[in-house]
């Protein structure tokens, strides 16, 4: 398996966006999948953003993007794991890779939001050391998290 930094329009990202849209529709109801389109693709482009995918012999296993909030803060968006590859630690490793990439890009904090219908994501973010913060995005009822990269660099990873 290989991590690749790609553009949001890349062929490796297409199954991720399709799967994410379907997942949101299933978990949150009709129309929820439209939120996959709420950020311009260019926001994930270098030098202020990135999109990372994990690929296994041509299959997109997992992925997620980074988009700039401000000079010190980046947001993780579009994080998803292929259902055939879940419960194997790929999402946790991907999130650590994204945090490392954010640090390389010069950010000090990583933020993200997730919804109430994603209890496995809520548990993972807490387990990985993210702190709950006030919601900062447009999603009603979302739970927001933040990771201080300076603190994370001094904390042993599991």
For 111-145, how does the pLDDT look when each residue is reduced to its tens digit (9 = 90+)? 999 989 999 999 999 999 999 999 988 778 899 99
Measure the CA–CA gap between 73 and 142, rounded to whole angstroms.
19
Q: What is the pTM of this model?
A: 0.90
Alpha-carbon distances of 99 from 15, 16, 79, 144, 153, rounded to whole Å: 23, 19, 13, 16, 10
Strand, helix or coil for residue 25? helix
Q: What is the pLDDT averaged over residues 48-64?
A: 96
What one-character DSSP code corresponds to residue 28? H
Q: Which residue has the higher pLDDT, 36 or 144?
A: 144
Tell me: pLDDT of 158 over 60.
no
CB atoms within 10 A of CB 17: 18
Please count the residues of the chain.
Answer: 158
CATH architecture of the region 2-154: 3-Layer(aba) Sandwich (3.40)
CB neighbours of 139 closer than 8 A, spacing ≥ 6?
A: 35, 113, 115
Picking from 6-20, 63-77, 123-137, 138-152, which range would have the lowest pLDDT averaged per residue?
138-152
Q: Give the mean pLDDT of the chain.
A: 90
């Amino acid at each position: 398996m290989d991590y690749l930094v790609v553009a949001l329009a890349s062929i490796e990202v297409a199954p991720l966006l399709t799967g994410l849209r379907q997942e949101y529709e299933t978990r949150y109801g009709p129309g929820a999948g439209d939120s996959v389109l709420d950020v311009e693709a260019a926001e994930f482009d270098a030098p202020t953003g990135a999109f990372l995918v994990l690929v296994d012999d041509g299959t997109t296993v997992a992925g997620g993007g980074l988009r700039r909030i401000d000079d010190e803060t980046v947001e993780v968006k579009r994080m998803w794991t292929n259902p055939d590859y879940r419960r194997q630690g790929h999402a946790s490793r991907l999130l650590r890779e994204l945090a490392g990439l954010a640090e390389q890009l010069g950010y000090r904090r990583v933020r993200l939001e997730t919804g109430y219908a994603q209890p496995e994501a809520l548990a993972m973010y807490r387990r990985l050391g993210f702190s709950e913060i006030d919601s900062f995005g447009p999603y009603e009822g979302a739970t927001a998290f933040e990771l201080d990269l300076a603190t994370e660099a001094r904390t042993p990873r599991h």
